[in-house]
Structure 1
């Protein structure tokens, strides 16, 4: 617990925010698993702040895109916003802030890798944004969001933002049935300097998809992409 408090202090220094009500920050960093295990805290967790932060984030990003890209049509702005505020993007920002190390989390959730789970990290960033909005106002919340999401917006516009299909697939299966994923390289073709790999992804011993790539990582990503397509999630 002492280490988490130290991590939170480092986060405060990084954010440069002088809180009027620091309890809002602590609440934003309280995962539901910790609140459930710590009954003395009255079951308070960050889910309500996440709800608020999600709305603030959509407003801030929508306004920024509207003002910054006047030549973009409504449909283009909608797609751009969706790419920016999606779970992988928010989880990436949360990792940059090291929010995972700052979370009050139940022991079971922590043992299962909760501090690195994209959905938890994305929710934590939205909760933090909600807390900043309540404590500091919309201007401060806008600054926090755009400071960290600005580079992502540029990446999306310039086509440098790649989907992490493996993480997406893992998240979906955890929500649906909790199945564990395994990847296997089935084939290697070509000379050492120009190999092509074929990978397959399995869940519960059942093959879900195959993919090919110039590296094992790329082949696994393509296998996950195929599995998502079969499940109806990949675009």
Structure 2
């Protein structure tokens, strides 16, 4: 083990015996032929499996849609980039001069890909032993997983209304701002939401058009008899 990676190993909670694998995981495609794209592909699959399995056991009463949204939050690029910054990956990334000049080592997508590639490298170094990857990944994600709640998977009213109508092959709702009151810095928006299958028009108001539309969509859901108190998917 060379001294250059000691700090990184401590951050990762994992020590590579084959440093060539780590160096490959840290090599952006801009360096040429030998880069981390294949390791990234492998790591992405492993990460989705490990997080999915943990969520399955952690939230035994959650439905498939809720679990999918929780997993998506955990494995999305922004979350992976956060991990990359926590590990200090920017100091170790290998990339072409063009990427270096453009600040690629700070780019979310590059850091996220590198985290996935490291997972793939760990998997290969342990000859496909999933237990090793699982231990490392869950250690990285422990605090984030502990903060998760199924309640956070509730969709906003506009999304729920749209999906409700689409599932019944009905036209999408139509929103219209019918009035705006107040000064420019303190306005109140009044919005109508029209649904073809409803005789009544749903109304909403809020301090922005977006908020007013959400309120109107919630009213439309109530008029349609949809339970707005809990997630149904």
Compute the TM-score of the two structures, normalised by the length of structure 1.
Answer: 0.60
The equivalent of 2:145 in structure 1 is 153
The equivalent of 1:25 in structure 2 is 22
CA distance in structure 2 between the partners assigned to 1:120 and 1:106 by the alignment = 12
CA distance in structure 1 between the partners assigned to 2:26 and 2:71 by the alignment = 25
Structure 2 unaligned residues grouped into runs of 5+: 154-183, 188-206, 211-233
- From 132, 136, 144, the counterpart of 1:144: 136
CA distance in structure 1 between the partners assigned to 2:3 and 2:100 by the alignment = 18
Structure 1 position 158, deviation (Å): 7.8
Structure 1 position 105, deviation (Å): 1.2
Of structures 1 and 2, the larger Rg is shown by 2
> What is the RMSD of the two structures over their aligned residues, measured on CA atoms?
2.8
The equivalent of 2:114 in structure 1 is 124
Q: 1:6 to 1:159 in 2, by over 3 A?
A: farther
- From 65, 69, 73, the counterpart of 2:63: 73
Structure 1 unaligned residues grouped into runs of 5+: 37-42, 162-187, 191-195, 197-211, 214-221, 223-235
SS in structure 2 of the partner of residue 104 of structure 1 = coil
Asked if structure 2 preserves the Cα contact closer than 8 Å seen for 1:31 and 1:104, the reply is: yes
CA distance in structure 1 between the partners assigned to 2:108 and 2:151 by the alignment = 22
The equivalent of 1:167 in structure 2 is none
Between Structure 1 and Structure 2, which shows a larger proportion of helix residues?
A: 1
Asked if structure 2 preserves the Cα contact closer than 8 Å seen for 1:83 and 1:156, the reply is: no
CA distance in structure 2 between the partners assigned to 1:67 and 1:75 by the alignment = 15
Structure 1 position 121, deviation (Å): 0.6
